């Protein structure tokens, strides 16, 4: 077994700190527990289940209309395509670590022939100066809030307002990659609608903080949404039935939309635990959402056995996956959910042990 | 309420003849009834649930490998794209009423820039002569078996063999649109693997005869399938969890794979009932699968009220949707499933009434 597999195995056998629990069929069973079998399926984007949910989320986001997609990958490519076609400019600007740039096998380029202009550098969020300093013409700018791959960092709300105003003046559409939109509202002290007002189109996910099974909403002006439905069919996303994702999305949205502030506070607590260990730093040091990254100033092959020991001694799992930065550094991602409450009483013991073991590495 | 809405409403309130029953949440609940909540979700195409099912269906189809897709639309565009890229010829030949030509908003053209060469005319299936007579170079030919939009007609098996041999000799890939593949095996007296052997790549659906919720399998050679997974991600189809479709697909596959011969025989019986009515003809007259079309030699606005009367008098619903061919003709599609058994004893009365009422239209 490889190091990665051993870590993953030990993690799966423990009670985990982050997220809402293991990704298993229980997530579906719970969401359908109280659903009447006679409830009619949606049918190629029509019907009560899908239409009601779209209306509910459109209104929550303060947008004219919304459409449910099986994935955010599909929703966002389509959004950028519509804006590109509308302006006749097949270029979009986004962060070098955007999901579209690193996780989608270049779908945007290969399927839509849209090129990317990369803003900012890999280590920080996009600032107003990056936008103003752009020399190439683009049809849209995509902002990912929070910027996941750098630990979930955020620009200031003032920056968002300035970027939004600049885009309006310069005929550039502003699209929000809001995969984790709900998770940042507490930090900004804004409603979803107040954030979304700054953007022409918005995507949000239902299996991050919300903890559904899969699926996404794309929201924006009515004609934009109508066009997105045609592209949804072209992509093969206009499934005969999407209710297996919509019903859980709705169920967990209602259950967790009010818990995001709590998750954020717990993320701050957990980050302090980590930062209190020698050779460990969180990124950002003070989380601005329910997520952050934990960096170890030690080689991965030394950290993995140490973590496995802790899981086995305490029964608590910290992460199932460590990523190597260099031969001297590794990190993992944390997103807080319902599990934190389950394990919080055990954390003092877990971190006492972690501190002790890390001292052995120095 | 429009005529269409009235027919649909009356149909929904009746016990239906075709299919496996109403499309409602019960389909999901039944399939998950015996599933353990601890069963781990698939994760972006990995994991036991998805890998086991892919292996099972690949073996059933006699192909090296298979991949589960959320939709056939996505699976087929991707198959044709891979064959097109491989040959460097972005042209595919298929029937003028192919799903790709009429139901996908030109996804193949708009996303993959692949043009279609239309073979045969709208009223009949593709024959060997159509293939040989092609003047344009194509990378692949897609055959849809049965040809749904003309009532589910089939070429002879000998024709398939000749087309397959011709394609091999002429460096043309042969792709099977087998949305209803299981439904034709009885007529050909062949196994799925015997049919699929003639094709380089095969798509089959899990919500037609099988009666699952949604989803499709694409099968073919190992390197082709590996490449299709990259395109699946580009399309936004590589969902974090596809188990809500895979578990029902597997459940209903096991339940119904052996019933296809029965459905075919029942389709033949039901077709005879219709053909026995004056002014009604089925297409084909003798069904070659579980599906056929029913044509009325009367205007739609006269047939609709007549059907609604029958549903209300007998409690049996024949169709929820009539399509207009001309001002003198309309038709609907029938696909036989588990419902036939439920209603068969009532059919003599239903058709007695239908005959009587049709005489009133003459």
DSSP one-letter string for B104-171 = STTHHHHHH--EEEE-S-TTS---HHHHHT--S--SEEEEESSBGGGTSB---HHHHHHHHHHHHHTT
- Average pLDDT in the A240-264 region? 98
- Average pLDDT in the A181-191 region? 98
Task: Provide CB contacts within 8 A for A280, sequence distance 6+.
Answer: A274, A294, A295, A296, A297, A358
Distance from the Cα of B53 to chain A's closest Cα (Å) equals 16
- Chain B positions in Cβ-Cβ contact with residue A28 (cut-off 8 Å): 32, 243-244
- Average pLDDT in the A307-312 region? 97
**Which chain B residues in 105-144 lie under 8 Å from chain A, judged by CB atoms?**
105-107, 110-112
Mean pLDDT of chain A: 97
Return d(Cα B73, Cα B142) in angstroms, integer. 13
DSSP for residue B344: G
Is the pLDDT at A217 greater than 90? The verdict is: yes
Return d(Cα B88, Cα B78) in angstroms, integer. 15
Task: Indicate the pLDDT class of residue A49, thresholds 50, 70 and 90.
Answer: very high
Distance of CA A88 to the CA centre of its chain: 30
Residue A361: per-residue pLDDT: 87
Is there a contact between B116 and B101 (Cβ–Cβ < 8 Å)?
Answer: yes
Is the pLDDT at A84 greater than 90? The verdict is: yes
Is the pLDDT at B176 greater than 90? The verdict is: yes
Per-residue pLDDT tens over the stretch A111-161: 999 999 999 999 999 999 999 999 999 999 999 999 999 999 999 999 999
- Average pLDDT in the B328-350 region? 98
Interchain CB contact of A352 with B (< 8 Å) = no
Is the pLDDT at B104 greater than 90? The verdict is: yes
SS3 B68: strand
Return d(Cα A246, Cα A229) in angstroms, integer. 16
- Average pLDDT in the B339-349 region? 98
Phi, psi of A205 (to 5 degrees): -105, 155
Residue B107: per-residue pLDDT: 98
Query: How many Cα atoms within 13 Å fall on the side-chain side of residue B162?
Result: 12
Interchain contact, B233 vs A29, CB within 8 Å: no
Q: Look up tokens 């055959």; give the residue.
A: B143
Would you tell me how many other CB atoms lie within 10 Å of the CB of residue B223? 12
Residue B41: per-residue pLDDT: 98
Residue A171: per-residue pLDDT: 98
Residue B177: per-residue pLDDT: 98
Return d(Cα B284, Cα A285) in angstroms, integer. 70
Residue A362: per-residue pLDDT: 79
Would you tell me how many other CB atoms lie within 10 Å of the CB of residue B24? 16
Task: Give percent of chain B above pLDDT 70.
Answer: 100
pTM exceeding 0.90: yes
- Average pLDDT in the B181-207 region? 98
Per-residue pLDDT tens over the stretch B184-195: 999 999 999 999
Which of A37, A106, A234 shows the shortest C-beta gap to B26? Answer: A37
Interchain contact, A38 vs B26, CB within 8 Å: yes
Is the pLDDT at A35 greater than 90? The verdict is: yes
SS3 per-residue string spanning B205-242: ECCCCCCCCCCEEEEECHHHHHHHHHHHHHHCCCCCCC
- Average pLDDT in the B130-138 region? 97
Interchain contact, A71 vs B237, CB within 8 Å: yes
Residue A1: per-residue pLDDT: 87
- Average pLDDT in the B143-165 region? 98
Per-residue pLDDT tens over the stretch B33-58: 999 999 999 999 999 999 999 999 99
Which of A207, A237, A247 shows the shortest C-beta gap to B240? Answer: A207
Interchain contact, B236 vs A40, CB within 8 Å: no
- Average pLDDT in the A83-103 region? 98
Picking from A344, A294, A316, the residue whose alpha carbon sits closest to that of residue A152 is A294
Task: Give percent of chain A above pLDDT 90.
Answer: 99
DSSP for residue B357: H
Residue B117: per-residue pLDDT: 98
SS3 B174: strand
Would you tell me how many other CB atoms lie within 10 Å of the CB of residue B35? 17
**Which chain B residues in 143-202 lie under 8 Å from chain A, judged by CB atoms?**
none
Is there a contact between A196 and A165 (Cβ–Cβ < 8 Å)?
Answer: no
Task: Indicate the pLDDT class of residue A194, thresholds 50, 70 and 90.
Answer: very high
Residue B362: per-residue pLDDT: 79
Interchain contact, B236 vs A69, CB within 8 Å: yes
Radius of gyration of chain A (CA): 21
Interchain contact, B25 vs A43, CB within 8 Å: no
Return d(Cα B85, Cα A74) in angstroms, integer. 22
- Average pLDDT in the B60-66 region? 98
Whether the bond between A146 and the residue before it is cis, its omega within 30 degrees of 0, is yes
- Chain A positions in Cβ-Cβ contact with residue B74 (cut-off 8 Å): 235-237
Distance from the Cα of A112 to chain B's closest Cα (Å) equals 6
Task: Indicate the pLDDT class of residue A308, thresholds 50, 70 and 90.
Answer: very high
Is the pLDDT at B361 greater than 90? The verdict is: no
Is the pLDDT at A101 greater than 90? The verdict is: yes
**Which chain A residues in 251-280 lie under 8 Å from chain B, judged by CB atoms?**
none
SS3 B338: coil
- Average pLDDT in the A216-238 region? 98
SS3 per-residue string spanning chain A: CCHHHHHHHHHHCCEECCECCCCECHHHHHHHCCCCCCCECCECCECHHHHHHHHHHHHHHCCCEEEEECCHHHHHHHHHHHHHHHHCCCEEEECCCCHHHHCCCCHHHHHHCCEEEECCCCCCCCCHHHHHCCCCCCCEEEEECCEHHHCCECCCHHHHHHHHHHHHHCCCEEEEEECCCHHHHHHHCCCHHHHHCCCCEEEEECCCCCCCCCCEEEEECHHHHHHHHHHHHHHCCCCCCCHHHHHHHHHHHHHHHHHHHHHHHHHHHHHHHHHCCCCEEEECCCCCCCEEEEEECCCHHHHHHHHHHHHHHHCEECCCCCEEEECCEEEEEEEECCHHHHHHHHHHHHHHHHHHHHHHHC
Is there a contact between A177 and A143 (Cβ–Cβ < 8 Å)?
Answer: yes
Is the pLDDT at B1 greater than 90? The verdict is: no
Return d(Cα B160, Cα B181) in angstroms, integer. 14
| Tokens coding A265 | 């506070």
Phi-psi group of B244: left, alpha or beta (phi > 0 → left; psi -120 to 50 → alpha; rest → beta): alpha
**Which chain A residues in 39-68 lie under 8 Å from chain B, judged by CB atoms?**
39-41, 43
Q: For strands A316-317 and A15-16, give the pairing.
A: parallel
Task: Give percent of chain B above pLDDT 90.
Answer: 99
Distance from the Cα of A77 to chain B's closest Cα (Å) equals 9
CB pairs under 8 A between A and B: 162
Residue B310: per-residue pLDDT: 97
- Chain A positions in Cβ-Cβ contact with residue B213 (cut-off 8 Å): 41, 240-241, 244
Distance from the Cα of A63 to chain B's closest Cα (Å) equals 23
Return d(Cα A181, Cα A228) in angstroms, integer. 21
Find, in chain A, the residue whose alpha carbon is nearest to that of B114.
A111
Is the pLDDT at B151 greater than 90? The verdict is: yes
Return d(Cα A249, Cα A31) in angstroms, integer. 9
Interchain contact, A35 vs B22, CB within 8 Å: no
- Chain A positions in Cβ-Cβ contact with residue B107 (cut-off 8 Å): 233-236
């Amino acid at each position: 077994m490889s190091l990665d597999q051993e870590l993953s195995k030990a993690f799966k056998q423990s009670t985990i700190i982050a997220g809402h629990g293991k990704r298993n069929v229980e997530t579906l069973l719970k969401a359908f527990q109280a659903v009447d079998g006679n409830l009619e399926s949606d049918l190629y984007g029509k019907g009560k289940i899908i239409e009601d949910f779209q209306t509910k989320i459109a209104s929550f986001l303060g947008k004219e209309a919304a459409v449910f997609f099986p994935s955010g990958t599909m929703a966002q490519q389509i959004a950028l395509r519509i804006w590109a076609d509308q302006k006749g400019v097949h270029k979009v600007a986004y962060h070098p670590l955007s999901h579209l740039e690193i996780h989608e096998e270049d779908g945007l380029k290969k399927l839509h022939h849209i090129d990317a202009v990369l803003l900012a550098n890999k280590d920080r969020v996009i600032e107003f100066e990056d936008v103003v300093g752009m020399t190439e013409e683009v049809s849209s700018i995509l902002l990912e809030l929070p910027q996941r791959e750098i630990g979930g960092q955020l620009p200031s709300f003032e920056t968002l307002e300035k970027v939004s105003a600049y885009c309006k003046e310069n005929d550039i559409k502003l699209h929000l990659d809001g995969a984790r939109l709900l998770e940042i509202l507490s930090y900004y002290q804004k409603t979803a609608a107040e954030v979304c007002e700054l953007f022409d189109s918005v995507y949000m996910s239902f299996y991050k903080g919300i903890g559904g099974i899969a699926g996404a909403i794309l929201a924006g002006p009515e004609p934009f949404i109508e066009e997105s439905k045609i592209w949804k069919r072209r992509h093969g996303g206009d499934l005969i039935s999407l209710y297996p994702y919509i019903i859980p999305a709705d169920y967990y949205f209602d259950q967790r939309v009010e818990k995001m502030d709590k998750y954020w506070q717990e993320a701050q607590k957990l980050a302090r635990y980590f930062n209190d260990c020698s050779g460990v730093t969180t990124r950002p040091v003070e989380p601005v959402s329910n997520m952050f990254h934990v960096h170890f100033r030690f080689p991965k092959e030394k950290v993995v056995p140490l973590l496995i020991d802790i899981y086995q001694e305490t029964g608590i799992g910290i992460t199932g996956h460590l990523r190597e930065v260099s031969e001297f550094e590794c990190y993992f991602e944390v997103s807080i959910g319902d599990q934190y409450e389950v394990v919080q009483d055990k954390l003092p013991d877990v971190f006492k042990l972690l501190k002790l073991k890390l001292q052995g590495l120095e």
